[in-house]
């Protein structure tokens, strides 16, 4: 985990104020910034998604790992509400939205 990831988690906690922050991955984050986030960010949890990636959608196989992780992110977003990227820092709260999606160019 990097300093930017740490700032992202702090921004989510301070401005979005979720009841939980769940970091998803195939391995527990390591390093000083993860240890600091685990201490400074309330209700932060790690969820190992190894073996949980979907292999098909509507009966069609997902061959690329990128597509499998896209579907996993969609399912998390649909079930929980938001899926902020750890490369973005939240500087203020925003009004509630039914659905929000961004594109990086």
SS3 for 10-44, per residue? HHHHHHHCCCCEEEEECCCCCCHHHHHHHHHCCCE
pLDDT digits (tens, 9 = 90+) for 66-94: 898 888 888 877 766 666 667 667 776 66
pTM above 0.85, yes or no: no
Tens of pLDDT, residues 10-24: 988 888 888 888 888
Q: How far apart are CA 41 and CA 4, in angstroms?
A: 14
What's the pLDDT tens digit per position in 44-64? 988 888 888 899 999 999 999
Domain coordinates of the chain in residue numbers?
3-80
Q: Which residues pair with 71 in a beta bridge?
A: none
């Amino acid at each position: 985990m990097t300093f930017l990831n740490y700032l992202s988690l702090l921004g989510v906690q301070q401005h979005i104020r979720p009841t939980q922050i769940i970091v998803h991955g195939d391995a527990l984050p390591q390093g000083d910034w993860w240890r600091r986030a685990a201490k400074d960010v309330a209700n932060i949890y790690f969820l190992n998604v190894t073996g949980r990636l979907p292999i098909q959608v509507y009966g069609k196989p997902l061959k690329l790992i990128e597509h499998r992780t896209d579907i996993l992110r969609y399912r998390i977003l649909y079930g929980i509400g938001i899926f902020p990227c750890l490369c973005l820092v939240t500087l203020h709260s925003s009004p509630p939205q039914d659905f929000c999606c961004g594109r990086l160019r």
